[in-house]
Amino acid sequence: MKKILVKLYLGFQFFIDNVLSRYFVATPFFSSIYYLFFNRKFSREQYSVLKGKVRHIKELKIRKANIYTLIRNTHRIEKGLLMRPRRDIFALDYIEETVDAFLNIWDPSKLDEDKQYKWFFDVLNEYFQSSGRHPLIDELSERFFNKVSKYMEIEKEMVQDSQKLIPYYRSLEENPIISFDSFYKLTRHRRSVRWFEDKKVPHDLIDKAISAACQSPSACNRQPFEYRIIDEPILLKQVANIPGGVKGYVDGIPMMVVVLGNLDAYFDERDRHVIYIDASLANMTFMLALETLGLSSCAINWPDVERLEKKMEKILQLEKYQRPIMCMAVGYPDRNGKVAYSEKRSLNNIRRYN
C-alpha cells in the first residue's frame, strides 16, 4: 500500500511539474496561480522576504533606528559629496530619516570596536559643515551637533590629522604591487579542496579572511550578510551533514562556514536577490584570502530545498528573515588529497563585447 501511495504521489508530482505547468506560462497572472495552488516552492522565500520587509519598516518608521537605512543613506550622502559638479543642497528627501536613525543608534563608546560609527559621524559632519542653507538642513544640523557636541570636544583633543572617513582622492601611486600574473596564478591555484589535515583552524586567520571579504563591493554598502563559523565538534557534525554533495568527505571537514543573508536589510521586494549578489562578491574574496593564509575551502551547493532550509534554521536558530546562501568547508589542505582539475569555459565562449 505504501509503495502504491508513493507511486501515486510521484506520478501526481510529475504531472504538476511537467504537464500542468505548461498551461500556466501564458501570463504572469496564471504563473502566480500555478505557484499559489500547485507548487509551493517559492513560499519560503516569499515569507522570508515579507518578514524582512516588515522588520525593516518597523525599525525605520516606529523605532526610527534602522541600521541598514543609516548605512544606505550615509553612502548616498557620500555619493552626493563626491559628485562633479557638487550641488550645495541635496539629500532633502532622505536626510531627516538619516539623522533620526543616527540619533537613535549613535553610541560613541562603540567607536573603538566599530569604525562604522565614526564613518556615520564624519560623513554627516561633512555634509552639515559644507551644505548650503535650507530650513530643513538648518534644523537637522542643530539636532545633529547637539547630539555629538561632547564627542567633538573629545575629538579635538585627539591627533588633529586623524583620518576623516569621507570621500577622498585615492593615490594611484600607492597601488598594492600585485601583478596580473601573480593574481591569475592565485586564481588558478585556488581549487575546491575536499581533503583536509586533522588540524584546528585558527580563528584569527578566519577573521583576517573575513576582513578582506568585507572590502568587497556591496549595494549601498549595506553588506546584508554574515558569516557563521562552525567548529565546535557536536554542532559541526550536525551542520556539515545538512547540505548535499558532502558524502565521502564530510567526516574530515574541520570547519564549516555558513553564509547567511539578512532580508531585513531591505524595504522592498525588488531587492530580495541582492543578498545573493553581495554575499557572492564577498565569498570569492574570502576564498582567495584563505589561500594566501595557507588555508583552502570548498564551496558547497545549497539549493532551495525546504526540508534542508528548515533543518539549518532550527540548528542555527535563524530568524525567519535570514536565509542560508552558501556553505563552505574550510581547513588546511591535505597534500595527499587530490583536487578536481575542472577546466573552465574558454574565453571566447564566455565573453562578448557589445
Q: Is residue 63 part of a domain?
A: yes
Task: Give every CB contact of residue 252 below 8 A, 6+ residues apart in sequence.
Answer: 194, 195, 196, 198
**186-224 pLDDT, tens per residue?**
999 999 999 999 999 999 999 999 999 999 999 999 999
- Does 106 lie in the same domain as 215? no
Q: Give the C-alpha separation, 226 to 184, whole Å.
A: 28
Does any domain span residue 61? yes
Strands of 255-262's sheet in order across: 225-230, 255-262, 322-331, 296-300
Q: Do 76 and 118 share a domain, yes or no?
A: yes
Please give the tally of structural domains in the chain. 3
Dihedral sign of CA atoms 308, 309, 312, 314 in order:
negative
Instruction: Report pLDDT for 118.
Output: 92
Task: Give the per-residue pLDDT at 35.
Answer: 75
For cell 543573508, the residue is 261
Residue 108 lies in a domain: yes
- Do the domain assignments include residue 33? yes
Identify the pLDDT of residue 149.
Answer: 85
* In-domain check, residue 179: no
Task: Give the per-residue pLDDT at 7.
Answer: 57
Of 207, 199, 206, 210, the C-alpha closest to 332 is 199
> At how many degrees (to 10) do helices 135-157 and 95-105 cross?
40
Q: Do both 189 and 323 map to the same domain?
A: yes
Judge if 188 and 137 occupy the same domain.
no
* Model-wide pTM > 0.75: yes
**pLDDT for res 27:** 75
C-alpha cell at 325: 546562501
Q: What is the domain-level CATH number for residue 294?
A: 3.40.109.10
Show the 3-state SS of 168-183. CCCCHHHCCCCCHHHH
Length of the chain (residues): 354
CB burial string 9-46: b at 16+ within 10 A, e below: eeeeeeeeeeeeeeebeeeeeeeeebbeeebeeeebee
202 and 323, same domain (yes or no): yes
Residue with cell 581549487: 191
**Does residue 340 fall inside a structural domain?**
no
Same domain for 59 and 33: no
Per the structure block, which three cell numbers stand in for 271? 531587492
Low-confidence ranges of the chain (pLDDT < 50): 159
Beta bridge partners of 258: 228, 327
List Cα–Cα distances, 6 to 9, 90, 222, in angstroms.
5, 63, 46
322 lies in the same domain as 257: yes
Q: Which domain holds residue 18?
A: 2-39
Where do the H-state alpha helices sit in 62-216? 67-81, 95-105, 116-130, 135-157, 180-189, 203-213
35: in domain: yes
Pair (16, 131) in one structural domain:
no
Is residue 320 a part of any domain in this protein? yes
70 and 188 housed in the same domain = no
* 117 and 28 housed in the same domain: no
**One domain, residues 227 and 310:** yes
Whether residue 27 sits in one domain with residue 77: no
